[in-house]
């Protein structure tokens, strides 16, 4: 365990970050850390402070208090040159071609212009490299933005709502691209309010709510509970009585054609089946499930509100 | 510096408005030179030949030409305003910073562009003046007395473009920034009038010899760098040049230099402080 801890290289560490606007605290004493090689989902409803946090660590928003470190160093413009980031919408010079736009980015980041064709090919825009940015569709613009962010072969890729406003095809293209980049070992921070997206793409999740971290960890360890089982039998009444006598469950609710029983401990589905069968109940439905990210997210944010 | 200029080159050279306004500017400068030399208007029955009046005579030609062509700077100022405000409307300022450009580098690149434009313009005006002077010198020797007006011209443009850059960063929109220049200019005129009335100097607002504090406001002091050429009427009667050589008023030079530094600092402070 100790070894594992040492092996984990910290890419980003935020300590006690606060950003206040006139009468709004967008980020409130936020702490989080990002380790190398993982895909992080930065999750939270609109206005939870995702974009502000990213703005601060990317040097475009001034923090009110707190500090952050990139690659265990004090942040400078040089640390930004090891990062690739897209914030909100793709920002380019509309009158310049894709290639000319990337030349500017290459000059700023200090990378060789030979990278331009390579990255345009990666995002599938090599054929359009001489076309003006203003003639691109939103999906193409977003892909060009990803090409720009990848130009310096970044150690971390930050994407803020990368699929926002795209059509289903565009969304799939971007998602496939993200997976492709992740396979290369690049650390990715993906901010989104789409839970489904984060669940599909990310290994870790950080949930923000009103500028505070609600949860930070692996997606599948988000809640400490053991999931639930859906149990159905012909004789519903008998089943319910029986379920109440079994010590595994903390709560049982009826849903349409089956019962949903929440587990108190880790029990295999086979054990439940066998137990009930021994008591003379034959099941016609038995599924063990964990709550989806959406349900967990709602659960977490609900707890926060009731506090 | 080369890196920043290369970045600016891509941003500016391929932008249509830059090309149009640059072209307009140089056409305007040439047209002014040509029209002056060949037009002979008749006012009140008297045929006015500005060549005869000595407009192109050394040393006053340096002041006369720089005074006249300075108005054209507005074309270059529009390029600078558009160049900066576009960075806001395209969201590219934010992206440039995220990509690893510092705020200092950003401002520096914009100032550098302005200086290059000023340098080109100053050289161009220098050669126009020299050529016109040589053409109309008619055997008289070429004089570089009065050449200090070229340095005044250089500073006048540098100050104006720094001022425009500051307003563009402050107001973020091209229309507002250009309007801002006009409003500021009117504001100075109002202050001047008030001071003139208060100090019983009515009618002498523009007179740099009557000591008015408002002459040292930013736009006024840069405008006073190259004053309207001094004229003596005896020259007209005797058929000599009517223009009198008088050197640059260096107090305005120093004050304009200070204003330039001040507006650069303000622009940097604004950029540094602002959340994008």
Query: For position A3, what pLDDT does the model report?
Result: 52
CB contact under 8 A, A55 and B275: yes
CB contact under 8 A, B276 and A109: no
pLDDT surpasses 90 at B109: yes
Which of B11, B98, B276 is closest, CB to CB, to A93?
B11
Contact list in B for residue A105 (CB cut-off 8 A) is 99
Query: For position B232, what pLDDT does the model report?
Result: 76
How many angstroms separate the first and last alpha carbons of chain A?
A: 34
d(CA A95, CA B60): 45
Quote the DSSP letter at residue A97: B
pLDDT in tens, A19-73: 999 888 999 999 988 988 889 999 887 788 888 999 999 999 999 999 999 999 9
d(CA A97, CA A74): 36
Residue B21: closest CA among B123, B117, B122:
B117
DSSP-based three-state secondary structure for A114? coil
Cα B274–chain centre separation: 29
Regarding predicted confidence, which is higher, B95 or A306? Answer: B95
Q: How far is B139 from chain A (nearest CA, A)?
A: 52
A96, A108, A111, A134, best to mutate vs chain B, most B CBs in 10 Å: A108
Q: Is A161 left (phi over 0), alpha (psi -120 to 50) or beta?
A: left
CA dihedral of B191, B197, B199, B203, whole degrees rounded to 10: 100
Residue of A nearest to B88 (CA): A91
**Averaged pLDDT for residues B235-258:** 82
Which of A62, A85, A108 is closest, CB to CB, to B101?
A108
SS (H, E, C) B116-169: HHHHHHHHHHHHHHHHHHHHHHCCCCCCCCCCHHHHHHHHHHHHHHHHHHHHHH
Regarding predicted confidence, which is higher, A307 or B33? Answer: B33
Tell the residue number behind the tokens 């587990």, with chain if given: A263
Residue B87 token pair: 């960075």
Mean pLDDT of all residues in chain B?
A: 87
pLDDT surpasses 90 at B103: yes
The bridge status of strand A249-255 relative to strand A258-263 is antiparallel
Query: For position A1, what pLDDT does the model report?
Result: 46
User: Per residue in A17-40, is it b (16+ CB within 10 Å) or e — as a string?
Assistant: bbbeeeeebbbbebebebbbebbb
Going B122 to B128 to B130 to B132, the CA torsion angle's sign is negative
Mean pLDDT of all residues in chain A?
A: 86
Quote the DSSP letter at residue B214: G
- The structural domains of chain A, ordered by start, are 2-221 (3.40.50.300), 228-290 (3.30.70)
In chain B, what percentage of residues exceed pLDDT 90? 52
Q: A10 - beta bridge partners?
A: A35
Phi and psi angles of residue A234, each rounded to the nearest 5 degrees, phi first: -60, -45
Split at pLDDT 50, 70, 90, the class of B167 is: very high
Query: For position B173, what pLDDT does the model report?
Result: 95
pLDDT in tens, A192-205: 877 777 877 888 88
Contact status of A100 with chain B (Cβ, < 8 Å)? yes
Regarding predicted confidence, which is higher, B92 or A210? Answer: B92
In chain B, what percentage of residues exceed pLDDT 70? 90
d(CA A260, CA A287): 10
d(CA B78, CA B83): 8
Cα distances (Å, whole numbers) of residue B147 to A39, A305, B29, B253: 65, 75, 19, 14
B18, B95, B113, B271, best to mutate vs chain A, most A CBs in 10 Å: B95
Query: For position B208, what pLDDT does the model report?
Result: 56
pLDDT surpasses 50 at B65: yes
Split at pLDDT 50, 70, 90, the class of A304 is: low
Query: For position A305, what pLDDT does the model report?
Result: 57
Contact list in B for residue A58 (CB cut-off 8 A) is 97-98
Query: For position A223, what pLDDT does the model report?
Result: 60
Split at pLDDT 50, 70, 90, the class of A135 is: very high
Contact status of A114 with chain B (Cβ, < 8 Å)? no
Q: Which residues contact B19 (CB under 8 A, 6 or more apart)?
A: B13
Query: For position B267, what pLDDT does the model report?
Result: 97
Interface of A with B in 35-74 (CB under 8 A): 55, 58-62
CB contact under 8 A, B10 and A78: no
Residue of A nearest to B16 (CA): A95
CB contact under 8 A, B10 and A104: yes
Which of B3, B273, B276 is closest, CB to CB, to A60?
B276
Residue B33 token pair: 């030179």
Contact list in A for residue B275 (CB cut-off 8 A) is 55, 60-62
Split at pLDDT 50, 70, 90, the class of B139 is: low
CA dihedral of B112, B176, B10, B272, whole degrees rounded to 10: 50
**Averaged pLDDT for residues B12-33:** 89
Report which secondary-structure segment, H or E, holds B191.
Answer: helix B174-198
Query: For position B276, what pLDDT does the model report?
Result: 82
* Contact pairs from chain A to chain B, CB under 8 Å: 75
pLDDT surpasses 60 at A5: no
Query: For position B96, what pLDDT does the model report?
Result: 95
Residue B89 token pair: 């409307």
Residue of B nearest to A152 (CA): B99
Query: For position A65, what pLDDT does the model report?
Result: 94
Query: For position A299, what pLDDT does the model report?
Result: 72
Residue B158: closest CA among B120, B118, B125, B123:
B118
Q: B42 - beta bridge partners?
A: B47
Counting runs of H as helices and runs of E as strands, what totals does chain B give? Answer: 11, 4
Split at pLDDT 50, 70, 90, the class of B207 is: low
Phi and psi angles of residue A97, each rounded to the nearest 5 degrees, phi first: -70, 165
Contact list in A for residue B15 (CB cut-off 8 A) is 93, 95
Residue of B nearest to A54 (CA): B98
d(CA B194, CA B201): 10
CA dihedral of A7, A13, A16, A21, whole degrees rounded to 10: -160
pLDDT in tens, A138-162: 989 999 999 999 999 999 999 998 8
Tell the residue number behind the tokens 């510096």, with chain if given: B1
pLDDT in tens, A205-235: 888 888 888 888 887 776 656 778 888 888 8
Beta strand extents in A98-201 (DSSP E only): 156-160, 187-192
B18, B93, B98, best to mutate vs chain A, most A CBs in 10 Å: B98
pLDDT surpasses 60 at B206: no
pLDDT in tens, A69-125: 999 999 988 999 999 999 878 999 999 999 999 999 999 999 999 999 999 999 999
Regarding predicted confidence, which is higher, B198 or B52? Answer: B198
Q: How far is A41 from chain B (nearest CA, A)?
A: 20
Contact list in A for residue B98 (CB cut-off 8 A) is 58-60, 80, 85, 87
d(CA A230, CA A261): 6
Residue of B nearest to A63 (CA): B275
d(CA A186, CA B265): 40
Residue A32 token pair: 């989080």
Query: For position A47, what pLDDT does the model report?
Result: 80
pLDDT surpasses 90 at B59: no
Contact list in A for residue B95 (CB cut-off 8 A) is 87, 91-92
């Amino acid at each position: 365990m100790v070894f594992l801890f040492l092996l984990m290289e910290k890419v980003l560490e935020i300590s006690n970050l606060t950003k206040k606007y006139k009468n709004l605290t967008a980020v409130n004493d936020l702490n989080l850390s990002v380790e190398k090689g993982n895909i992080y989902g930065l999750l939270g409803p609109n206005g939870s402070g995702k974009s502000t946090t990213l703005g601060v660590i990317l040097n475009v928003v001034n923090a009110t208090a707190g500090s952050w470190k990139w690659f265990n160093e004090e942040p400078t413009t040089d640390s930004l040159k090891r990062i690739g980031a897209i914030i909100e919408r793709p920002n380019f010079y509309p009158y310049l071609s894709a290639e000319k736009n990337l030349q500017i980015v290459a000059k700023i980041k200090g990378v060789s212009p030979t990278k331009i064709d390579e990255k345009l090919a990666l995002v599938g825009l090599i054929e359009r490299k001489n076309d003006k940015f203003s003639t691109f569709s939103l999906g193409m613009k977003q892909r060009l933005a990803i090409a720009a962010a990848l130009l310096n072969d970044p150690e971390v890729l930050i994407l803020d709502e990368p699929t926002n406003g795209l059509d289903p095809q565009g969304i799939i293209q971007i998602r496939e691209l993200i997976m492709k980049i992740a396979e290369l070992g690049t650390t990715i921070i993906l901010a989104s309010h789409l839970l489904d997206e984060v669940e599909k793409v990310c290994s870790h999740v950080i949930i923000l709510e009103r500028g505070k971290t609600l949860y930070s960890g692996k997606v599948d360890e988000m809640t400490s509970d053991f999931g639930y089982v859906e149990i159905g039998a012909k004789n519903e009444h008998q089943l319910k009585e029986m379920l109440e006598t079994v010590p595994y469950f903390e709560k049982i609710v009826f849903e349409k054609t089956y019962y949903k029983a929440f587990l108190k401990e880790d029990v295999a589905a086979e054990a439940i089946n066998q137990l009930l069968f021994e008591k003379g109940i034959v099941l016609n439905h038995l599924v063990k499930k964990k709550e989806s990210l959406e349900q967990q997210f709602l659960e977490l944010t609900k707890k926060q509100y009731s506090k | 510096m080369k890196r920043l200029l290369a970045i600016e080159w891509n941003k500016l050279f391929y932008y249509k408005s830059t090309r149009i306004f640059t072209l307009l500017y140089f056409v305007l400068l040439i047209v002014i030179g040509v029209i002056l030399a060949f037009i002979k208007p008749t006012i009140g029955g008297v045929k006015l030949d500005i060549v005869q009046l000595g407009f192109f005579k050394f040393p006053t030609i340096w002041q006369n030409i720089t005074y006249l062509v300075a108005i054209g700077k507005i074309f270059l100022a529009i390029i600078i305003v558009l160049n900066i405000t576009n960075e806001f409307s395209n969201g590219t300022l934010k992206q440039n910073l995220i990509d690893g450009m510092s705020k200092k580098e950003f401002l520096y690149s914009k100032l550098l562009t302005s200086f290059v434009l000023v340098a080109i313009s100053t050289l161009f005006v220098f050669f126009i003046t020299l050529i016109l002077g040589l053409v109309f010198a008619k055997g008289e020797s070429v004089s570089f007395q009065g050449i200090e007006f070229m340095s005044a011209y250089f500073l006048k443009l540098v100050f104006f473009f720094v001022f425009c850059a500051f307003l563009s960063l402050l107001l973020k929109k091209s229309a507002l920034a250009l309007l801002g220049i006009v409003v500021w200019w009117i504001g100075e005129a109002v202050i001047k009038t008030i001071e003139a009335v208060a100090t019983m100097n009515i009618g002498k607002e523009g007179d740099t010899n009557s000591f008015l504090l408002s002459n040292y406001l930013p736009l006024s002091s840069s405008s006073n760098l190259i004053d309207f050429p001094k004229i003596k009427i005896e020259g007209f009667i005797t058929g000599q040049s009517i223009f009198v050589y008088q050197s640059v008023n260096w107090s305005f030079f120093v004050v304009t230099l200070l204003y330039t530094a001040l507006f650069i600092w303000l622009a940097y402070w604004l950029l540094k402080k602002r959340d994008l």
